[in-house]
Amino acid sequence: MLHLQPKKLPGLAESVTMLLFVIAVISFFIIGLQSSPHTPILIGILILIAYGLTKKFTFDQLQHGMIQGAQSGMAAVLLFFIIGILIASWMASGTIPALMDIAFSLTGGPWLFALVFAITSITGVALGSSFTTAATVGVAFIGVAQSMDLSMAIMAGAIVSGAFFGDKMSPLSDTTNLASTVVKVDLFEHIKNMMWTTIPAFLLTFVLFALLSPGANQEAALSSFEEGLIETGLIHWSSWIPLIVLVFFTVTKRPAFISLSVTSITATIIAGLRGTMGWGALFGSWFNGFQIESQNEAVTEMLSRGGMNGMFFTISIVILALTLGGLLFITGIIPSILQNLQKGLQTARSATLATAFTAIGINISVGEQYLSILLTGEAFQDVYDKVGLAKKNLSRTLEDAGTVINPLVPWSVCGVFLSGVLGVPVLEYLPFAFFCLLSPLLTIFYGFTGKTLTKKSETKAEAS
């Protein structure tokens, strides 16, 4: 979408009015009317088409913007299909049931939600992918919440918080590498500088989840579910092989699509050789999801999921949301706002705050975290030079207000994926995604106070 620049940009007031109107319509339908996101996003598309036609754009121009917008999400769409297959195949091979069994053994202590947050954080850093973390370890912990009759919203909030801690801090993460690359900052210098906001956010989040965790020991309530998992016969020493393969491919920095594909094939072969299902049923589960019948109805519900078919709801929202984003670019609404934001920023405080709110705004309006990082990074590099701030301040703010905000937007790529995989609507887990809420608040606080902001002169002195 970066190249979708109209010849003439609308005025700032007009652009802001149109953007807020479209967001208000979408929010009213989703929050006020409890509508599925598809309908209000489509209505937003129709509003922008009508606006574009009144501004003398041809329909072909508008259609080009829509196509370019949707096309920018094809990599994510293909990855979603593979993740659907991954969940189904890991269920069949016993990998996710084995993870659930381990999770059950960790739930006897008093700090369950805090422990879930810590474990998903470590997993996220190791894998470098919030999607993979949520689709594997996250699914296992959601099963624990279901079986213990705990708050699904709090559990999902802990999973999302941990997954995006990893997505933000892992040197293997796409967003971490993108944020450092787009503003030309050393990757590990970028990660080191993010600790000023990330460590306080992590500690506060851990304490909040510890306070929300159930205090009573619930091992007795879990015994029937643990027995039900064992009785399925899915858990086996070979169930750990797909996880080992995934970690190997991740550490050796293979592309996510390749890593998840090979891991899914490995899991399917293991399930087939063990005779979990017939080969035809196994490959059928790639589309329809894994299905199992057990004497424990709750276990059956926990394990019957995954498949490409289960991802169509998510994929259709992603395509619609990115189509909307394409129209916001081709009509000049977002380019106009970005261009005007660059003017008049004369201080470190104003530059930091403008960066944070721009990254948040692009996440809300376009629903794509990569674009929030790319567009904001490109727009504010010269501004940071002008006000004398080191570029690592910009890369940190891009992640604090860009990467971790995306899962909090119901129509965003991350939001629709996580709500589909975890089975918890975004607006339900949003109040409990503490890490994702605290990170932008801390970066805004530092922007106001000037604390932890590094001047260009200080960076040059360190280098010399």
Kindly report the three-state secondary structure assignment for every residue of the chain.
CCCCCCCCCCCHHHHHHHHHHHHHHHHHHHHHCCCCCHHHHHHHHHHHHHHHHHCCCCHHHHHHHHHHHHHCCHHHHHHHHHHHHHHHHHHHHCHHHHHHHHHHHCCCCCCHHHHHHHHHHHHHHHHCCHHHHHHHHHHHHHHHHHHHCCCHHHHHHHHHHHHHHHHHHCCCCHHHHHHHHHCCCCHHHHHHHHHHHHHHHHHHHHHHHHHHCCCCCCHHHHHHHHHHHHHCCCCCHHHHHHHHHHHHHHHCCCCHHHHHHHHHHHHHHHHHHHCCCCHHHHHHHHHHCCCCCCCCHHHHHHHCCCCCHHHHHHHHHHHHHHHHHHHHHHCCHHHHHHHHHHCCCCCHHHHHHHHHHHHHHHHHHHCCHHHHHHHHHHHHHHHHHHHCECHHHHHHHHHHHHHCCHHHCCCCHHHHHHHHHHCCCHHHHHHHCHHHHHHHHHHHHHHHHCCCCCEHHHHHHHHC
Give the pTM.
0.70
What does each of the 464 residues of the chain score in pLDDT, given as a tens digit?
555 567 678 888 898 898 889 888 888 887 777 777 788 889 989 999 999 999 888 899 899 888 888 887 777 778 778 878 888 898 888 887 887 777 667 655 678 888 889 888 887 876 677 887 888 778 878 877 877 778 899 999 999 999 999 888 877 677 787 778 777 887 778 888 888 889 999 999 999 999 988 765 555 445 666 677 777 778 888 888 998 888 888 778 777 788 888 989 999 999 999 888 888 888 998 998 888 877 666 677 667 777 888 778 778 877 887 788 788 888 888 788 877 776 666 777 888 888 888 888 888 877 777 777 877 777 777 788 877 888 888 888 888 888 889 899 888 878 888 988 888 999 999 999 999 999 999 988 888 887 777 776 555 545 44
